[in-house]
Structure 1
Amino acid sequence: MQLPQYPRYDDYVDSGFDWIKNVPGHWTVSKLGSCLSPVSKKNHGDKPLLSITREAGVIERDVEDQDSNHNFIPDDLSNYKLVREGQFAMNKMKAWQGSYGVSEHTGIVSPAYYVFDFAKSFDPRFFNIAIRSKLYVSYFGSASDGVRIGQWDLNKTRMKAIPFLVPPLEEQQAIARFLDDKTDKMDQAVKIKEGQIALLRERKQIIIQEVVTKGLDPDAPMKDSGIDWIGQIPAHWTVDTLGSLLFPVSEKNHPEKTLLSVTREQGVIVRDVEDQESNHNFIPDDLSGYKLVRAGQFAMNKMKAWQGSYGISEHTGIVSPAYFVFSLLKDFDGAFFNTAIRSKLYVTFFGQASDGVRIGQWDLNKTRMKAIPFIYPSVEEQKEIVKHIEFEMAKIDGAIELKERQIEALKEYKATLINAAVTGKIKVI
């Protein structure tokens, strides 16, 4: 998407910075060191906890959300720093990715974070939009030094030297109003398309669940499956249990094999050992105790089976010794078994067969797992069903991909428009 032909200012001067280039002649080229004044007020442990995120800037912290609270929260919060509404706060270890912003809340943040008052006359909304734009995030990246993966310590001296363009206050306010209006419309368009994608993904699940329980022939004679959640099934289909279809195996001493992961989103995949974000679990030096999974076998993270972390493997490799590995006892089309067992219907069964032990961890009960029903037709019909699913999924995936491209185009256009407005490349008043 290209920017429309917005007017430009009459007079431009060289900013002195390659990344910014020319700026309106009546704007001031300042530096953050002269725009911000550091503050550090503590002993406000009664105030709400705040978080500073890349996605949304300064937000109220959801202390009940264990997934987003990786950092320990001490009982004594008197050392936490106060952030007042309208102040600028920053996670200095993640400033390189944009974890900062002007706060709309009053609360407290980690004592390791930075908090600032404005040392000049700023419209807070303008400053927040500008400083969180891609242009300035890049500057914070160049002002940070890597200390470990995901953590880059912001250098105070280099931060103070980051350039910041300051229009007159009335112009700041006009730019903020303009961008609020335009970005709100773009955000709404993105939200609509994300909703359409969610419906398309739900449609995929409906199609899969329908054909793996009812088959492809709408006129086929039906019978009662004896299972409330499944209901009627084709009369010639077999009703079985996982206990009679899966044989547990535990083959170890293959540390040279590829490490695999078992995920909710994709089932069994090759593990990216370089991706620290997805490798929360410790990988020992000695992998001899890890279990071998052969291509075509069924592997499962038993603590997350309730959310669908299992599947037929397309790879030969090793998984955690705490995982379950099974061979199929009967002749199945692997793609059919994998598609069916990973459908929402069967994920629900695994949820019922698991017992909660802690947040995000539900231990699969072996006895109840063995009793989980599984219905299936002949192998020939399984293959036909798989072909039908692949055809239908390809159509829906194409529609999803188109909408994802449209979303990316909108987001890129939004970033380009913001950069152009806050650096004076376009005139919006």
Structure 2
Amino acid sequence: MGDLTKYSSYKSTEESWFLKIPEHWSIYRLKHVFGITKRIVGELGHDVLSITQTGIKVKDTESGAGQLSMDYSKYQQVDKGDFAMNHMDLLTGYVDISKFNGVISPDYRVFKMTYAECESQYLLYTLQLCYTNRIFFKYGKGVSMLGRWRLPAENFKNFLIPIPPKEEQTKIATFLNYKLAKIDRFIRKKRVLLNLNVERRKSFTSQIIKSDTVQLLRLSSVTKFEERQIERSDNETYTPIGLYNRGRGIFHKEQTFGKDLGDSTFYYIKEGDVILSGQFAWEGAVTLASSTDENCVASHRYPILGCDLDIIKPEFLYSYFTISEGFLLLDLHSRGAAGRNRPLNPRRLVKEKIPIPSIALQEELAKIYHNEERLKATVLNEIKIVEEYKTALIAEAVTGKIDVRDFEIPETLDEETYEDLEEELSLAAEDEAEYQTEEID
């Protein structure tokens, strides 16, 4: 962790996630630091808050973009500065300090800091670490396969955390605020690079559908629905997929036994398949399967289109659906009025005619697409490694493995300072990559 040193003396604990802490630190139960509050509001007219993995946000209750409750009468009051956590879901939940006054689900836990010798930002970093490193998980109860693994109130109250003196907590929080802001800037620059390449590919797609070579052809004449149904075996494992919205790609879910796949019909995926989300196509949930997706499975809720390669390239069809003209078709054929429930009608979609440029222009687009994908793989791996470094830095600081008391934040945050941090992150990424290679070998 750079020039930072360790403390001069440590003492042992019985806690698995901080086996040793600095000699002068203390250990507290959360019930001695926080007081749980449950103030039922009882009426509407308040901002409705939700907890995401990027923090507490105000829900958009007007547009219906989120899944909204039909009854807010049991919602809890949240004031600015209150802590709130999704204690019902230790797998994907989170905790944050609210920047808003509002109301929040009765299923969440709202609590205030009651111990004057604590610094709220230090406590927040500690609690967030307990989510990201799944420290809370072993204290939970429920059915993890269903995504319901909750932290009971008594387990929360008796959970132990390390507490340094207040002045030191402030030092740790200030150090992490500075370091993490710079790390986040590094990540933002990488994401901007990705977005620029996405926009380049979209711009080229918009150009070639206006070229003189374009034919206006019905989708059903150049594509077909691929339905490679699996012969499900109860004790065989399968890898289901899901789609991100806004054309951000595909993700693999955990391997699942055939007997646990549910009642859906599942189909094998092959490289070159264009996959749509039957529920969220109107949000741009579309992707192009790569070689890494081969033999994963998609439920019947994900229509799969195969292309007639003599006429239409899958890279073009995918990219067409990500620009405004293609997106409008997905939106047009997604009907519904219940919040986000707007299922796609794929049979109607394929009756539409779309502009298809020459194969030569499509092949140029395919090169741009595959360059974008290679860059994306590289950048996302860099971001993953830096995110791991970020989590490790928080863990080192809040458990006393590094001493930040003498750390001084530069008076001017100039470009040179940023470049120093970028070099540090690059070295961290190289170290992690070497470690991963050794593990694989």
| Aligned pairs (5 A) from 1:114-193 | 114-121=109-116, 122-134=118-130, 137-147=133-143, 149-193=146-190
The Cα of 1:162 is off from its aligned counterpart by 2.1
Name the CA distance, whole Å, in 2 between partners of 1:353 and 1:427.
58
| Aligned pairs (5 A) from 1:357-396 | 357-358=336-337, 361=342, 370=351, 372-377=353-358, 382=359, 388-396=364-372
Match of 2:52 in 1: 53
Q: Highest Rg: 1 or 2?
A: 1
Classify the secondary structure of the residue corresponding to 2:50. Answer: strand
Match of 2:397 in 1: 421
Taking structure 1 as reference, are residues 390 and 44 closer, same or farther at Cα in structure 2, changes over 3 Å only? same
Taking structure 1 as reference, are residues 399 and 251 closer, same or farther at Cα in structure 2, changes over 3 Å only? closer
The Cα of 1:143 is off from its aligned counterpart by 0.8
Please give the TM-score of this superposition, normalised by the length of structure 2.
0.69
Out of 3, 6, 19, the residue aligned to residue 5 of structure 1 is: 3
Contact 1:93 1:154 (C-alpha < 8 Å) held by counterparts? yes
- Counterpart AA for 1:181: Y
Name the CA distance, whole Å, in 2 between partners of 1:144 and 1:155.
7
Taking structure 1 as reference, are residues 86 and 267 closer, same or farther at Cα in structure 2, changes over 3 Å only? closer
Match of 2:418 in 1: none
- Counterpart AA for 1:50: L
Taking structure 1 as reference, are residues 131 and 206 closer, same or farther at Cα in structure 2, changes over 3 Å only? same
Name the CA distance, whole Å, in 1 between partners of 2:204 and 2:81.
50
For these two proteins, the number of residue pairs brought into alignment is: 388
Name the CA distance, whole Å, in 1 between partners of 2:301 and 2:110.
46
- Counterpart AA for 2:18: I
Name the CA distance, whole Å, in 2 between partners of 1:269 and 1:84.
38
The Cα of 1:32 is off from its aligned counterpart by 1.6
Contact 2:90 2:134 (C-alpha < 8 Å) held by counterparts? no
- Counterpart AA for 1:55: T
Name the CA distance, whole Å, in 2 between partners of 1:270 and 1:80.
33
Contact 1:88 1:103 (C-alpha < 8 Å) held by counterparts? yes
The Cα of 1:19 is off from its aligned counterpart by 2.0
Out of 371, 381, 384, the residue aligned to residue 405 of structure 1 is: 381
| Aligned pairs (5 A) from 1:283-294 | 284=263
Unmatched 5+ residue regions in structure 1? 214-229
Greater alpha carbon shift after TM alignment, 80-89 vs 24-33 = 80-89
Match of 1:216 in 2: none
Name the CA distance, whole Å, in 2 between partners of 1:405 and 1:327.
30
Unmatched 5+ residue regions in structure 2? 233-237, 406-441
Taking structure 1 as reference, are residues 327 and 407 closer, same or farther at Cα in structure 2, changes over 3 Å only? closer
Q: CA RMSD in A?
A: 4.6
Please give the TM-score of this superposition, normalised by the length of structure 1.
0.71
The Cα of 1:74 is off from its aligned counterpart by 3.3
Name the CA distance, whole Å, in 2 between partners of 1:294 and 1:182.
43
Taking structure 1 as reference, are residues 374 and 12 closer, same or farther at Cα in structure 2, changes over 3 Å only? same
Name the CA distance, whole Å, in 1 between partners of 2:222 and 2:334.
21
Match of 1:112 in 2: 107
Higher strand residue share: 1
* 2:13 is the alignment partner of 1:15: yes
Contact 2:272 2:306 (C-alpha < 8 Å) held by counterparts? no
Describe the superposition over 1:287-314 as per-residue Cα deviations: whole angstroms up to 9, x where unpaired.
6xx9999999988778766647598999
Name the CA distance, whole Å, in 2 between partners of 1:297 and 1:193.
28
Match of 1:88 in 2: 83
- Counterpart AA for 2:136: F
Contact 1:209 1:340 (C-alpha < 8 Å) held by counterparts? no
